[in-house]
Chains A and B, each alone.
Chain A
Amino acid sequence: MTIRGRAWKYGDNVDTDAIIPARYLNMSTEAELAPHCMEDIDPSFAKRVQRGDILVAGKNFGCGSSREHAPLALKGAGVSCVIAETFARIFYRNAINIGLPILECPEAVRATQTGHTLEVDLATGTIRNLDTGQTFQATPYPPFMLELIAAGGLIPYTRQRLARGG
C-alpha cells in the first residue's frame, strides 16, 4: 500500500496532551476529536491539514498518557501516516491497533521539512521524499505486527482468532 502526502514536521517529545488535550477526553470518536488535534502546539493544524497528509516528528512521539484518543484524533484529522525518529510505546501499540500506519526512520525525519511531499510504501517501509529525491528505509515491522496490520487492526485480528477458537 502506497501513501502520498504533504509533510507536517514537529520536534521531539510531542506528548499526547499536545496531540489531543485532556479537556476533550469527554468525547471519544474520531469525528469529535479531529477538530482539536494538535491544538496546543499548533492551533491551526486541524484546519489546515488535508486528508492524506503525513506527520513527521522527532524522538518519543506520543509520550505521556495511554489515551487512544491521540491516534484517533490524528486519523480523524486525515493524517495518513506518522513518521518519527522514535515512538513512545503505548502510542505505538495504539496506532497499530487502530490501523494508523506509523514508521520509525530518523534519517527520513531529519531530511524532511514541512511542505515536502513524501511517498511511503508500507509493505516495504520505503520512504521517498519527492522534493529532494532521497529515499529512506524505515525499521521493518516484525511479522506478528504485519499480521495485525493485514487483518486491519487488533479487533479484526482477535475476531478471526476467536472464530478459529484460538
Chain B
Amino acid sequence: MSTPATMAQKILAAHAERESVQPGELIDVRADLVLANDITAPIAITEFEKLGVDRVFDPARIALVPDHFAPNKDIKSAEQCRALREFARRYGIVHYYEVGRMGIEHALLPEQGLVLPGDVVVGADSHTCTYGAVGAFATGMGSTDIAVAMATGRIWMRVPETIRFIYRGALRPWVRGKDLILYTIGLIGVEGARYQVMEFTGPAIAALSMDSRFTMANMAIEAGAKAGLFGVDEKTLAYVAERATRPYTVYASDPEAPYAQTIEIDVSAIEPQVAFPHLPSNAKPISQVGNIPIDQAVIGSCTNGRWEDLVEAATILKGRKVHPNVRCIIIPGTQALYLRAVKEGLAEAFVEAGAVFSTPTCGPCLGGHMGVLAAGERCVSTTNRNFVGRMGHVESEVYLASPAIAAASAVLGRIAGPDEL
C-alpha cells in the first residue's frame, strides 16, 4: 500500500518519474504543454537563444498566443507579436494562434483540448493555473523558466502542500464561481495559499459548471497559490471528451491525503461579491457595497470571458440600455465564442444595449488597450486583479465582480446586482 497522497503529489510524482513526492522537495518534472504570450515570449525567446540549442523539445507541445497587446496596439507591441510569430515559424510550433484565430490563452487552450486531466502545464503567465479546472497541475512561471522548458521539456519545481476547500450548500441566485472565489480569497487573503495548491471540493463544487470552475481555478494565484485544482468528474470528462486528441490520466486525492489545512465553506450564506480596490481580497457582499457610481464596466478576460459569462451578461442586457454615463465593454474569450455569440443573438443584444462587443484580447484587463481608465475613473470588471493602476491611471479604481453584477451595474450606472433592475 502506498502512502496517501494529494492529487498534486500524484501528478507531480508521475511527471518526475517517481513513486511518490513529498511537499518541500525540489524535483525535476516533465511538462505536457508549455505556454507563452506576446509579452512574456519575447524574453523567453531571447533566453532560449542563449541556450545554444537548435530546436524546441517538441513543436506540438508548445502553445504561443498573441493576446495581451494583440491585435497589435502600437509599434512596440507589433514588434513583440512579430518576434512570437517568427519564432513559431522558425521552430515549426504547431499551436501558434494568429489574430483572427486566437483567443485569450486561458480560455483558448482548454477549449482547443490542449490541456487535459493529469497534465503538467507550465506557462509564462500567472493565470496558467486556470487549467486546474480540468484536473491538470498547471502553474505560472517567468520567461526564463519557459525558455528552458521550451528547450528541454522539463522544469524544476518545489512540491507544494495542498489546502483543501470543501464547499457545501446551495448557491443563492446570481452566485457563480466568481463569487465563490472572491469570497474565498477574502477569507484567506492574498497570500493565504502562497506556495500551496488550493483544491476545490465538496457538493457545491460538483454542482458547478465547467465555466465557473475555470473562473475559480483562474484566481487561485490571487491567493498566492501555485495551482488551483479540481477533481475530475463526469462534467470534466464530458468537457474533455469533445476536445482531447491525446490520451490522459485521471488522478484523485486519497481521502487520507496529507492536507496542510481543510477549510469548510457554506455557500448558501454567500451573496454575490465585489472586491474593492486595490486587492482581490477586499471582497464585500453586494448588499454592503453602497452607492458607487461607475464610468466603465468590463465583461471578459481569462476569468470571465466564457460562454456562461456571455449568456449571463446577455440575459441582463437584452432589452435594456447601458446607462448614459457608462461605457460597457464586452470581450469574448475566443473566436469560437465570438462566433457563437453572433449566431445565437448575444452580439445583437449587446450592441442594441449600447455596449462594445470586441474581438478576443486581454485589452483593458491589464490596462493595455480597449478601455484604459483615466484619472479618477471607476470600473466594475469581471477580471481578476484590481491593483493600483492595473487598468490605467494610478488614480483609477477597479472593482472585481461577476458578469451578472458587471452587466447590472452597466445598466444602473453604479455597482449593483440584477435584483435591483
Contact = CB atoms under 8 A, between A and B. Distances in A.
Given A86-B191, A94-B143, A155-B51, 18 more contacts: A15-B387, A17-B366, A21-B367, A23-B368, A26-B77, A40-B389, A40-B394, A63-B190, A65-B125, A67-B39, A68-B142, A72-B43, A88-B191, A89-B224, A89-B226, A154-B145, A158-B151, A159-B52
A23 B388 CA distance: 13
B192 to A, nearest CB: 10
Given A68-B143, A88-B194, A17 B39 contact: no
Contact of A66 (B53, B76, B126, B389): B126
A101 interface: no
6 closest A-B pairs (Cβ-Cβ)? A94-B142, A26-B76, A68-B142, A22-B366, A60-B191, A66-B126
Contacts of B368: 22-23, 25
Interface string A93-109: 11001100000000000
A159 B39 contact: no
B68 interface: yes
A66 B185 CA distance: 19
A67 B367 contact: no
Contacts of B46: 28
A47 B263 CA distance: 46
A28 B42 contact: yes
A88 B191 CA distance: 8
A64 interface: yes
A123 interface: no
Interface string A49-85: 0000000000110011111110110000000000000
Contacts of A98: 142, 144
Contacts of B126: 64-66, 90
Nearest to A92: B195
Given A13-B279, A63-B190, A22 B76 contact: no
Contact of A142 (B26, B52, B141): B26
Interface in B155-203: 156, 190-191, 194-195
Interface of A: 13, 15, 17-18, 21-23, 25-28, 40-41, 59-60, 63-69, 71-72, 86, 88-90, 93-94, 97-98, 142, 144-145, 153-155, 158-159, 162
B334 to A, nearest CB: 21
Contact of B389 (A13, A21, A71, A142): A21
B51 A41 contact: no
Interface in B326-382: 366-368, 372
Contacts of B22: none
A158 B153 CA distance: 12
B224 A63 contact: yes
A64 B195 contact: no
Interface in B260-298: 279
Interface in B92-144: 123-126, 128, 140-144
Contacts of A93: 141-142, 145
A107 to B, nearest CB: 18
Interface of B: 26, 39-40, 42-43, 46-47, 50-53, 68-69, 73-74, 76-77, 80, 123-126, 128, 140-145, 147-148, 151-152, 156, 190-191, 194-195, 224, 226, 279, 366-368, 372, 385, 387-390, 394
Contacts, number: 134
Nearest to B391: A22
Contact of A63 (B128, B191, B389): B191
A127 B388 CA distance: 31
A94 B43 CA distance: 12
Contacts of A65: 125-126, 366, 385
A15 to B, nearest CB: 5
A69 B43 contact: yes
B148 A158 contact: yes
Contacts of A27: 76
B190 A60 contact: yes
A20 to B, nearest CB: 11
Contacts of B148: 154-155, 158
Contact of B152 (A66, A67, A145, A158): A158
A142 B157 CA distance: 13
A162 B77 contact: no
Contacts of B145: 93-94, 97, 154
A56 to B, nearest CB: 18
Contact of A17 (B76, B190, B390): B390
B194 A89 contact: yes
A90 B123 CA distance: 11
Nearest to B393: A40
Contact of A26 (B80, B195, B388): B80
Contacts of B388: 17-18, 40-41
Contacts of B52: 159, 162
B295 to A, nearest CB: 19
A67 B8 CA distance: 25
Contact of A159 (B50, B124, B144, B279): B50
